[in-house]
Structure 1
């Protein structure tokens, strides 16, 4: 056997010179995956992993020693695909170091050229790039001024607390929503620099009051939120609120200047009635404004009596049920535009409610009610059905529209229904739309409860030949390793990142990182909320494939969409694209 290796190595004198010229660790493998040649740096690396001559040894054996079983299995599968000529290239980022000292290397496997069987393996150190990615993603979920968590991460923690209480009613939690009283006066009197410093000191003072299990976040401006977990009840919660008021009422000394501030607090004790973080924050916000009405420096515990909007919401629910029956809910379509050609490549279907006597009801007012009441199932199916019919009719009227994609939002409640996939399949068959043109959009929060079940449902949906998209990326607790688990086809960058990308270099870097991550995972990228030409140009420079937003077109009724498509609407692309 070893004589065969000697003969093989003798055939590669120029290959050894080439290997030594490569800047990365590089090795040549035969069709069995055994090392037949390697440059000096690679031999040193392999010897550090497992002492001894690497030539003639199986490359994946080294992987088994330094990688997790899952990662090692993925490398074996990828290597086999290249050696078996099933794919022309396999890449994977490998965490090779200890947890305390992480070392990342980019693995790349390609077939040998010139008809020679085997593969070339290279390992490039990308630890610095990974650290940069982690820093950028950290910044995406933390407040840059105070270093506290931001709203997105707080909502994620609150969602976990809600679900924990659903499983265990004794796992009580509470939310304190803080708004500093008359803080604008501080900025006007002492300037914004001092105001920012004061916010930092306030954050530090609040942090010292909390336990490790509690969560403090800055929501922006002079608003903070505290999530208290594992509490005994309202007495403990009220005691904490009183402590916060007392601590913040003590003077702050900045540059020999004493500054006095107070705050208003809204308090909500978690209960089984809460299904979503937005509900808790809504009630906490109402309670906080009640404290403001008391003159500030006060905390108010929310109770049902102060919910001024409850009656309106009940009326809204009844009206929504009637609207679904009477056809008041219609579908509007927002074009999705190729940043390379400027042409419409697809549309997103959006629910719109034209209520008689009241005009257009904003989706933010009726979609949450639909989700809370379960009406979202009927509404979602209706939107998908109407949109599919519209796109089929449009394709018949204009051959140019035959390849337009249709994106439809799917709520968590829809997605978790046992018969959801069957319902989608029935609608596809009923309308006759090409399933490959349909894209179902899921938010990150939909995936958090039961990842394995979510993966199973996504795979069943993809078996229908439709596409699955992760929507509003960046607003949840996303990470590269987490997203890798799900078989998505594309990713949508949330409008909050896109809208702020030109205001600071950090925001641009966040968008750049998200797009680069998506491309590395083989995902196409659509940017939401493009309202300015500067947004479009910047996204195009970052090689984002598509975008949507008011810069291109607001959501329009079906008839207006037909007119746009039939007149071959397009937007001019930036020069150089």
Structure 2
């Protein structure tokens, strides 16, 4: 029964709570006055509840005031709680009874607990929900039941027994239900307040926004509202703008980025609009908003015309920089100039969007004539029957070359500086610009772009063209320098002919062609000018250079344009013949060259006559490489110079074998002294008066380990050509001096040694020779004098023989050399007298002590013949100038008797003795034998 009464009371309480929230639509506790009014409402509700309370006994009753006061404190704060509590306490005091004080205490505890919970929980922003409200109600009423213990003991026990369970179950539920009603009321109030605040803030932002801001209809895009910036941007008042639609400003369809804009969704797109009579590029952002309960689109318009212009400028600059860098890289890669020029016109035309791009090379610096070397056309209107000359069509380029400055024309139809009408009528070109491509001394040419529409070329475009022109200029100059260096590396600077390197390259090309097509053979001629050194020595190097230049010119006359004429050495030329016919063979060409070169060379007051020797090789299947071709031509030349002068020699395989044998012999000769293969042999020379041996001629003998005895006439020429003769001569001189020293006067004899003409010539002195103590680094007389001194021999015991074939007077210092030897006491003998360049003046000019008749006189002499009379005359002539005569090549007793009868002083030959080893020669001398 009590529980039913409590439920009825609590139902009334909840109903009063609902009624209270319906009466208060505003935000609770917005102001102090509002809070007081809330307190009156809750206090009244509690008072009404007390009139419908459950009475246990007079003065002791229960109602829902604890719920109302605690919720008022929880949701509405101290002012509302104060008023509600005072009203409720006043009513309870008015009712009075035994439980008055306990009832007042319940009101105060409920208020206190509600205020404490409010401080803990942020009611304004987070209204309490289910479990919190249930727990809060339970706590409030547990405290209420504890207060009941302050009643008299019997009353307290009765009250707690009857009401504890119903109160702790029903009152927390009532607190939960009433609390939820109030919490939902708070939440709805908060939402309304937030909407109002948001709308107010949006209004403020909309009006004060620096960007063009519009409110438009989602369906028709009708302008509903416009801020001040929109009015200023469109130049229209707000009253006028709201009568228009966004489409009224459009001049072109939208260029969408991303999904197409939807009237009811957020979107972002671009348009071109007419703004105050000008076309402007705009960026439009739309978003859905609700204003005063109506859905609309908030449209922000950003003018991006300037930004797009700046971006276009930057993009253009980047494209031009990229094009400049690209062409710079291509120029550095070393592409041919033709390829680079064609690449340039294509890149320039694409970068500038030009209809035509042309590079013109200046062909005449005086008249500034030009010709096209590279061109690209995007569109052409040239009609073949209307095409003019280069001078007519490129007057602007010629004008630029004349002024030396870039030239632009925005409209060729009205051009007055040069004739632009012909170009316009012929090609349709309306505007053009050109810049100079500089060169080494004069401009290389012009870089020109043309447009079929009027175009105002700005400074950036001209700078771009000039940068490209500078890259071309550097590339052209560098390529020209490379070609010049390559030409200089492959050509002779004096004659301008190809040098040995280029000859080798072209020989290799001819050989490769020959291997692919054997019938297409070729030949190589090596041409050596005979005794060219005499021209330099006698007439000077300037004349020698003139001779070489003229020789090159004459060789060109003998060759075809397809052949290669090269200078391969100081006085050596080469002719590479590719392809023969009946009238043009190596023999025909060789004869023609000899004929051309035999004609006198006339240089002002100087006339030079010369001859040439040639080696010729014709390519055959036996040749394995182009190097063999050149080698065989050199071998043929060497053979020709060895056998004849002023002629030519064809290479054959035997030459190669002889050369290989000679090279092998030369290699062995270089090591012969180290291997102790050389020996000194002595041939006795007797006195024709006493018949006894008076002296010996020292002769060098080479015993090869495989070849055996190598004849001197085979290895001595090789030694002279290679310079080994100096080492051999030094060795012979030392051995002869040792032999004289060993004899130590036991036999009153002396030796003579043969001196090669190469040893007599001024020595080749180099730091390397001196360092190695090479005999070639020391003059002949110093060497002989030094060795004689080191060995301690009498210079009179060492005779010096020189051949008559040496042109002593032609060599500077040779006379002084021989005279110096004679002054030091060395006897001087003239060998092979009668076969060379001797004359009486020659004999008188040098201090010879003896002359040796050549074996040609001795072998041919017989009693009464002409040779006998000539021999007698020579002997008498020699005696008349104080010279002794030695006859060589005595082979029989008859020759010996005739020589003795003719008054010859000494003789030597096989009849007397062949050359003997030193020991046997000494034994023969000591034997005292007579002949």
TM-score (norm. length: structure 1)? 0.49
Q: Which has the higher contact order (CA 8 A, sep 6+)?
A: 1
More helix by share: 2
Which has the larger Rg? 2
TM-score (norm. length: structure 2)? 0.31
